[in-house]
């Protein structure tokens, strides 16, 4: 019973956080600085999520090695994307290198 | 006034909706192992399977669900679980603020729905869509398509995890989450041509790595703050320099 209450409370809190800005929308005015700052949110959030996943895929220490398939395939994907600017091609080649590398390392 | 017939409109919103779902496919694949692992962990927290599914249906925020299950397994108090949920999910406010200009004009029921469906993955996909189509009139259908695809996907893989989770203990090492990594790379890399964005990404990445062991994803929050600060400062500096150089 208390677990169900905990879950429902989590749902209410999460919904409140996610929807608040959308709902108050018209009443929230964003300054020029804030807008400028928000323009940097995507690039920083996404980078902050993937860097630890790539450098320490097992959640332990740094795995700066060619034996780390996440690192090798991520570096390869950055290169392919910078050169080709093609999203789907990068994703397919990146995944191919990742699984190929992982498989060949056993 | 629109010159299109209702039938054209219906066809257009449908195709926009499915484009949102289709562009989320790498994210769907990336989320699958997390859904399975979450489902598998539910049993360790002395939760009934229906309670695990209730969490996926009502909370719909992967990392906070993982943390809650971990806290429940450790017999943490309800208030601690709620506080952790609040901190871990706070980043969605940044996402919502970034997407607000595209959502502001919609009726309230749309804003409630899209708010509920907001996740890391849908934010990444939808933000990239709005950057390419800044004036898309049907962007909310794209948002809905991505959000509902992610929602259905999360429910499905939670069920799979609940049913079979204990049978696949090595799923995390299979590394399907790399699909998410490579998708994020394709969104980030094209933005790095601008110096402030490159510096912001480098600052955020190194801060996130340095602080990765902080609890409750606080390292992620700190990394965003540091990265955004670096980006804004460099933009300001650049603007000042340009103004000085441009002065007669």
pLDDT tens-place string over residues A68-93: 999 999 999 999 999 999 887 898 89
Burial group, residue A14, by CB count within 10 angstroms (0-12, 13-18, 19+): buried
For chains A and B, count residue pairs whose Cβ atoms are closer than 8 Å: 244
Best mean pLDDT range from A7-16, A54-63, B238-247: A7-16
B59 touches chain A (CB under 8 A): yes
ipTM: 0.85
Nearest in space to B34 (alpha carbons), one of B214, B156, B216, B217? B156
Between B115, B183, B190, which is nearest A85 by CB?
A: B190
The predicted structure's pLDDT at residue B216: 63
Between A43, A85, A102, which is nearest B197 by CB?
A: A43
Residues of B in contact with A17 (CB under 8 A): 86, 89-90, 92-93
The predicted structure's pLDDT at residue B247: 56
Place of tokens 């606080």: B218
Between A7, A15, A42, which is nearest B116 by CB?
A: A15
- Alpha-carbon distance B162 to nearest alpha carbon in chain A (angstroms): 17
Q: Is the pLDDT of residue B2 over 60?
A: no
B176: confidence class by pLDDT, cuts 50, 70, 90: low
- Scored b (16 or more CB within 10 A) or e, A88-106 reads eebbebbbebbbebbeeee
B174: confidence class by pLDDT, cuts 50, 70, 90: low
B85: confidence class by pLDDT, cuts 50, 70, 90: confident
Q: Which helix (H) or strand (E) holds B180?
A: helix B178-188
**Token pair for residue A46?**
């996404």
- The whole-angstrom separation of Cα B126 and Cα B248 is 43
What is the Cβ-side half-sphere exposure of residue B102, based on CA atoms within 13 angstroms? 26
Q: Is the pLDDT of residue B1 over 50?
A: no
B50 touches chain A (CB under 8 A): no
The predicted structure's pLDDT at residue A1: 65
How far apart are the two ends of chain A, measured CA to CA in Å? 46
Candidates B74, B93, B181: best to mutate against A (most CBs of A within 10 A) is B181
B146: confidence class by pLDDT, cuts 50, 70, 90: very high
């Amino acid at each position: 019973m208390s677990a169900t209450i905990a879950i429902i409370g989590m749902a209410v809190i999460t919904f409140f956080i996610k929807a608040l800005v959308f709902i108050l929308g018209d009443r929230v005015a964003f300054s020029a600085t804030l807008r400028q700052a928000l323009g940097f949110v995507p690039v920083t959030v996404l980078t902050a999520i993937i860097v630890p996943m790539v450098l320490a895929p097992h959640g332990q220490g740094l795995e700066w090695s060619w034996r780390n398939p996440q690192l090798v395939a991520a570096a390869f994907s950055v290169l392919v994307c910078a050169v080709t600017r093609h999203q789907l091609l990068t994703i397919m080649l990146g995944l191919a290198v990742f699984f190929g590398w992982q498989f060949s390392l056993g | 006034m629109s010159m299109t017939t209702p039938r054209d409109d219906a066809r257009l919103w449908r195709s926009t909706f499915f484009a949102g779902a289709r562009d989320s496919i790498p994210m769907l694949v990336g989320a699958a192992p997390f859904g399975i692992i979450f489902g598998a962990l539910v049993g360790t927290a002395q939760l009934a399977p229906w309670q695990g599914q209730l969490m996926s249906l009502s909370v719909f925020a992967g990392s906070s669900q993982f943390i809650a299950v971990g806290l429940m397994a450790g017999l943490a108090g309800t208030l601690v679980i709620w506080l952790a949920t609040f901190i871990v999910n706070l980043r969605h406010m940044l996402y919502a603020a970034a997407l607000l200009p595209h959502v502001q004009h919609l009726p309230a029921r749309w804003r409630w729905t899209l708010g509920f469906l907001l996740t890391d993955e849908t934010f990444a996909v939808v933000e990239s869509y709005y950057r390419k189509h800044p004036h898309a009139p049907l962007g909310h259908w794209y948002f809905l398509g991505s959000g509902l695809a992610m929602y259905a996907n999360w429910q499905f893989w939670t069920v799979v995890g609940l049913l079979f989770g204990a049978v696949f203990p090595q799923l995390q090492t299979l590394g399907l989450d790399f699909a998410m990594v490579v998708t994020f790379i394709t969104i980030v890399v094209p933005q790095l041509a601008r110096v402030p964005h490159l510096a912001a990404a480098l600052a955020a990445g190194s801060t996130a790595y340095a602080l990765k062991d902080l609890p409750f994803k606080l390292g992620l929050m700190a990394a965003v703050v540091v990265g955004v600060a670096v980006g804004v400062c460099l933009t300001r500096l650049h603007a000042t320099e340009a103004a000085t150089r441009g002065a007669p």
